[in-house]
Amino acid sequence: MNILITGGAGYIGSHVAKQLLETTDHTITILDNLSTGSPKTLETLKTIRDFEFVKLDLKAFDKIPEVLQKHQIDTIIHFAASIVVPESVENPLKYYMNNTVNTTNLIKCALENGVGKFVFSSTAATYGEPDSLPINGIDENFPTKPINPYGMSKLMSEQVIQDAAKANADFKYVIFRYFNVAGADIYYDDSAHTQLNPRIGQSFPNATHLIKIASECAVGKREKMAIFGDDFYTIDGTGVRDYIHVDDLADAHIKAIHYLDENPSDIFNVGYGQGFSVRQVIEAMKEVTETDFPVEHAPRRAGDPAALISDNTKIKSKMQWIPKYKDLALICHSAYEWEKKL
Ligand code: UD1
């Protein structure tokens, strides 16, 4: 396959690129505007195996056909997007432009240039505020009712992809609804696997993710952190999320591009089906890193649902996806080891 990875210099895209370069022979082209993606990550990926890099913002969509033709792209894995929930509440048009409009243009280019497979990064934020949690996870048939522009921008993109596929028999998709992605490259220096030494991870300095912020506290880059809201209807009042290790998520993408050779288009949740509260995550980070740091209480953040936990039955049974890094301590440990190297 000739695969285009948009957003391949970013956090999740780079972990997918890493696995494709390491474990397959497919030809990879990474397209990224480097607004949050990292040139250093690209250098590291090049030490695994060579690939083409195109620095381009997807809004320059008149340039995309040339890229697709030059590299004879048959498969697109589309990550490039804006992803911060509270920012989407403040600046919704940024999200509709960068996510929905750019995805629509990309699909138009894909259809006009013979791209047959499309893997799309969607989000659990499409579900909004589930009524029936935190007892059971939400499945793919759960009503999608986003409560922030980020979730809506992704849901609208999903609709465009599905309609495009309905009208074009040669265009197939996998849509992944990610839960909370965290951690860094599980890579050991030694054969005994005692020294975890991630080669890539979340590099963007202003990231807002809980586990990233907790790891910045643990390494001493931040003095303290805040819990946003402790009056949710959850186990301890703080927000509950289903944290999934980025390498397990990346593996789902590798499975998806092969899945589409034999199977119809479909939508899958990608999460572990286990929820942890903000408090539990912070405790896990402190314990695994043997550190302590002050934690304050702050009001709820705009657009935050109380709890999101996946039902992952479908991806496990249809794609034989078997997650390997479910341990919250390992997720925190890998994020921390990466943060030390940044
Ligand atoms: C994350 C993703 C989003 C994805 C969603 C799926 C990012 C930036 N966000 O959003 O793209 O669609 O998961 O579920 O990748 N929190 C604190 N203190 C902090 C930071 C966070 O209390 O300093 C809390 C939040 O209020 C929330 C939880 O931790 O309850 C997780 O927040 P965060 O890591 O920012 O992810 P989401 O907003 O869930």
Residue 205 has pLDDT above 70, yes or no: yes
pTM to 2 decimal places = 0.96
Confidence at 193, pLDDT banded by 50, 70, 90: confident
Q: Treating both helix axes as pointing N-terminal to C-terminal, what angle do 278-289 and 210-218 enclose, rounded to 10 degrees?
A: 30
Q: What would the mean pLDDT of 162-173 be, rounded to a whole number?
A: 98
3-state secondary structure of 115: coil
Confirm if 336 and 218 have CB atoms less than 8 A apart: yes
134 alpha carbon – ligand 1 mean position (Å): 17
Q: Is 123 close to ligand 1, i.e. is its CB under 6 Å away?
A: yes
Q: Is 83 close to ligand 1, i.e. is its CB under 6 Å away?
A: yes
Q: Is 209 close to ligand 1, i.e. is its CB under 6 Å away?
A: yes
User: Cα 56 vs. chain centroid, distance in angstroms?
Assistant: 20
Q: Which of these CATH numbers, 3.90.1010.10, 3.40.50.10470, 3.40.50.720, 3.40.30.10, describes 2-182+244-271? A: 3.40.50.720
Q: Is 182 close to ligand 1, i.e. is its CB under 6 Å away?
A: no
For the chain, the first-to-last Cα distance in angstroms comes to: 33
- Closest residue by Cα to atom 19, ligand 1, is 210
Q: What is the pLDDT of residue 204?
A: 85
Q: How many CB atoms lie within 10 A of CB 31?
A: 30
Sequence spans of domains, the chain: 2-182+244-271
- pLDDT tens readout for residues 33-51: 999 999 999 999 999 999 9
Residues in contact with 65: Cβ distance below 8 Å, sequence separation at least 6, in sequence order: 109, 112, 113
Residue 135 has pLDDT above 60, yes or no: no
Confirm if 80 and 7 have CB atoms less than 8 A apart: yes
Residue type, 73: I
Confirm if 252 and 119 have CB atoms less than 8 A apart: no
DSSP 312-325: -HHHHHHH----S-
| Residue 150 a catalytic site member | yes
- pLDDT tens readout for residues 83-108: 988 899 999 999 999 999 999 999 99
* Residue whose entry in the numeric block shows the structure tokens 């996510």: 99
Q: What would the mean pLDDT of 177-192 be, rounded to a whole number?
A: 94
